[in-house]
Amino acid sequence: KSLLNHTAYLSCYFPNSQKTDIKDLRVFWQKGATEVVHEVYYGQEIHDNLSPKYVNRTKMDMDKWTLQLSNAGIVDEGQYTCIIQHRDKGSPKVIHKSECLLHIIANYSQPEIAQLNTGEPKPNAYLNLSCSSSGGYPEPKNMTWLISHENITYRRMHHMDVSQDAVTKLYNVTTKLNITVPTNTLTNISCLLHLGEQLGSLVSVPLGI
């Protein structure tokens, strides 16, 4: 995983047990079946065959067998293959191959609750709320409303509207809630954006009614 516009580190763990000289190895990174990402040719980094979008963006740490990919973008997501060949009696032989899956993460804004109907809510009237968060990636799982009063919290999940920017590929999400304004009791309403098991959740500032 890598944050959007940060450096991604792609591991090609190669236990060089033979202590093979780097000058006898060709290290080759590719994305998918066709894109050449990086090439170290018998100790020298060469750039002749690179796909244009990787030029001046990659660097190989030969001690850690890790490829650094700078300014990682959503278009860089996908599977990368690392192939190491050994120059054996003149003809190169594959001695190591590994694959690495890159996921890009962009942080969503803190969810924000807005009231859609104007004026002070009257008891037993309907209250229309929306909750929005923007500029994130990947697409989140869901948004949940938390409604708390008298030490009891209710969860309500409604349809989440999702839009994706055609250029940046970042997501904006919104959900709506229509509830009756409670009488004679303080109610706090929060909105929870669930990003996925490994990414956790974001919660709004509570709205007190």
**Can you give the residue range of the structural domain that contains 190?**
109-208
* Statement to judge: residues 120 and 50 lie in one domain: no
Question: Which of 43, 73, 105 corresponds to the end of one domain?
Answer: 105
Q: Has residue 47 got a pLDDT over 70?
A: yes
CB 157 within 8 A of CB 178: no
Are residues 6 and 100 both part of a single domain? yes
- pTM of the entire structure? 0.80
> Do 12 and 99 fall within a single domain?
yes
- The reported pLDDT for the residue numbered 122 is 67
Which H or E element spans position 202?
Answer: strand 200-203
- The rounded radius of gyration (Å) of the Cα atoms in the chain is 25
Same-domain status, 73 and 122: no
> Quick one: pLDDT at residue 177?
92
Question: Looking at the structure, do residues 25 and 68 belong to the same domain, yes or no?
Answer: yes
The predicted pLDDT at position 132 comes to 96
Q: Tell whether 115 and 194 lie within a shared domain.
A: yes
Q: Which of 58, 76, 105 is the last residue of a domain?
A: 105
Tens of pLDDT along 139-187?
Answer: 998 999 999 888 888 898 889 999 999 999 999 999 999 988 777 778 8
Mark out the alpha helices in 30-168 (DSSP H runs).
none
Q: Give yes or no: residues 64 and 123 share one domain.
A: no
pLDDT band at 125 (very low <50, low <70, confident <90, very high): confident
Indicate the residue among 105, 120, 148 that finishes a domain.
105
Cα–Cα dist 87/120, whole Å:
78
| Interior/surface letters 2-27, b for 16+ CB within 10 angstroms, e for the rest | bebeeebbbebebeeeeeeeeeebbb
For residue 137, what is the domain's CATH number?
A: 2.60.40.10
Number of independent structural domains in the chain: 2
Which pLDDT score, from 0 to 100, does residue 17 have?
57
Residue 9 scores a pLDDT above 80? yes
Chain-centroid distance, C-alpha 161: 19
14 and 79 part of one domain: yes
Check residue 45 and give its pLDDT.
83
Are 130 and 39 found together in one domain? no
Residue 50 has pLDDT above 80, yes or no: yes
Q: Do 7 and 100 lie in a common domain?
A: yes
Let me know whether 12 and 76 are in one domain: yes
My answer on whether 119 and 154 are in the same domain is yes
- Structure tokens belonging to residue 28: 């080759």
